[in-house]
Structure 1
Amino acid sequence: MRILLIDDDTELCDLLTEYLTQEGCTVSTCHDGRQGLTAALAGHHDFVILDVMLPGCNGIDLLRQLRRLSTVPVLMLTARGDAVDRIVGLEMGADDYLPKPFDPRELVARIRAIQRRGENGFGTRQAVPGKLTADDLLIDLGTRTVFRNSDMVPLTAVEFSLLHALVKRIGQVVNREELAQEVLGRKLEMFDRSIDVHISSLRRKLGHNVNGIERIKTVRSVGYMYSRI
Structure 2
Amino acid sequence: MKSFRSQPQNRPKKSSLIIGKAKLLAALKEGKQLERIYLMQTLHGAEVEEIKKLATQQQVPINKVPVEKLNGFNITDHEGVVGLIAKIQYQDLQDTISFIVEKGETPLLLILDGITDIRNIGAIARTALCCGVQAIIIPDKGVGALTEDAIQTSAGALEKIAVCRVNSLMKAVDTLHLNGIQVLASEMTAADLVYDCDFKQPIAIIMGSEDKGIYPALMKIADGVFRIPMLGGFESLNVSVATGMILYEAQRQRNRSI
Which structure has more relative contact order (CA 8 Å, sep 6+)? It is: 2
TM over 0.5: no
Larger radius of gyration: 2
**What TM-score do the two structures reach when normalised by structure 1?**
0.30
TM-score of the pair, normalised by structure 2: 0.27
Q: Which has the higher strand share?
A: 1
